[in-house]
Amino acid sequence: MDYKSAGVDIDAGNETVRRIRALARGTFTPGVMSDIGSFGGLFRLGDRFQDPVLVSSADGVGTKLKIAFLTGRHDTVGADLVNHCVNDIIVQGAEPLFFLDYLATGRLSPDVAEQVISGIARACKENHCALLGGETAEMPGFYADGEYDIAGFIVGATEKSQIIDGRGIAPGDALIALPSAGLHTNGYSLARRIFFEQAEWKADSYVGELGVTLGDALLVPHRSYLAFVRPLIDRGYVRGIAHITGGGITENLPRVLPEGCDAEVDRQSWSVPPIFRLLQQLGRVPDDEMFRTFNMGLGLIIVCAPRDAERVVDALSSVGEPDARRIGLVVSGDRTVRYV
């Protein structure tokens, strides 16, 4: 017997690495000191920061991968992975330095792996983040045929003086929200149950309310907010930022509030996108469950001083985010969200 007969194809792994190498090299920034294939990735911080603090995060894209399997489209979930991780560190004021990926599958397909990594590389370039390395694991018998899982690990840095930790948030502060592009990477287990099991729709079903097929609507990539938020941080406008991911607005906004503060959110201040309204209607999902499962059309919420609220909205519009809007304010309380 040999390794290939046991389910692990070393030649397919080598071919995958060959394809990935070119994609990764296209993301390299001046700090990269190693090549793809080394045992560890080397990155030189250099003199970009005077008093640097490293910020790291790890995440996956959950059962959104099931939509990729159904449609045969694998070039967007990698971008989801990178953008989610970038947002998770920008909320603390960090800019991304480098990214590592982990791809595990039962039977390695170089074509599928290349599609996944192409999405990762594309998003890394857009976020000025180096794809420094990663791992591709072939695990026969562990995953169903044609399925895989991916995870991402990001490291960024910020000046110690620019760390955003929410300590300065106080009652009266404004809440400014930036729109999402859809479900992003959360709530897919419930969405799949509603759309595919209860409604019995298919990935290629055209949905009039959405103007696209169901598969296309569910594969819209997670947005990166780096380009919009970085200028606000540099101007000192930001007191706190919440990335609205798993747990929705209800669970994520309190994570940036200090003791003694609640968030009061005006539900009439934005229009919930059709995909969320459709999910709630088809699944008869209660309001409170919707707001603690999905982002409801808001991908990021910024907390700023009331005097800066208009400046923040104007600044976001000037860098290509005209739909940012004030959705509420901080009030006295015990770190919860009140919907009004």
**125 and 208 share one domain:** no
Q: What is the reported pLDDT for 167?
A: 93
* CATH code for the domain in which residue 17 is found: 3.30.1330.10
Domain boundary (162, 197, 212) is at: 162
Q: What is the reported pLDDT for 8?
A: 74
Please give the chain's pLDDT, 340 residues, in tens.
776 776 777 788 888 888 889 999 999 999 999 998 889 999 999 888 999 999 999 999 999 999 999 999 999 999 999 999 999 999 999 999 999 999 999 999 999 999 999 999 999 999 999 999 999 999 999 999 899 999 999 999 999 999 999 999 999 999 999 999 999 999 999 999 999 999 999 999 999 999 999 999 999 999 999 999 999 999 999 999 999 999 999 999 999 999 999 999 999 999 999 999 999 999 999 999 999 999 999 999 999 999 999 999 999 999 999 999 999 999 999 999 999 9
Pick from 27, 21, 156, 186: nearest CA to 92: 156
**75 and 216 share one domain:** no
Beta strands in 26-182 (DSSP E): 52-60, 95-105, 130-138, 148-159, 174-179
**202 and 222 share one domain:** yes
User: Model's pTM, two decimal places?
Assistant: 0.95
**125 and 187 share one domain:** no
Q: What is the reported pLDDT for 7?
A: 72
Residues 6+ apart with CB under 8 A from 14: none
Question: Is the distance from CB of 338 to CB of 331 less than 8 angstroms?
Answer: yes
Question: Is the distance from CB of 337 to CB of 249 less than 8 angstroms?
Answer: yes
Question: How many domains, the chain?
Answer: 2
Look at residue 89 and give its three-state secondary structure.
helix
Domain boundary (162, 192, 218) is at: 162
**187 and 328 share one domain:** yes
Q: What is the reported pLDDT for 3?
A: 67
Judge whether 5 lies within some domain: no
**186 and 294 share one domain:** yes
- Report the DSSP beta bridge partners of residue 326: 176
Tell me the C-alpha distance between 117 and 101, whole Å: 9
Judge whether 3 lies within some domain: no
Domain extent for 269: 174-339
Q: What is the reported pLDDT for 38?
A: 86
Question: Is the distance from CB of 282 to CB of 209 less than 8 angstroms?
Answer: no
* CATH code for the domain in which residue 201 is found: 3.90.650.10
**27 and 145 share one domain:** yes
Amino acid at 230: R
Tell me the C-alpha distance between 203 and 212, whole Å: 10
**58 and 93 share one domain:** yes
Max intra-chain CA distance, the chain = 72
Judge whether 245 lies within some domain: yes
- Work out the angle at residue 98's Cα, subtended by the Cα atoms of residues 97 and 102, and round it to the nearest 5 degrees: 155
Tell me the C-alpha distance between 312 and 233, whole Å: 10
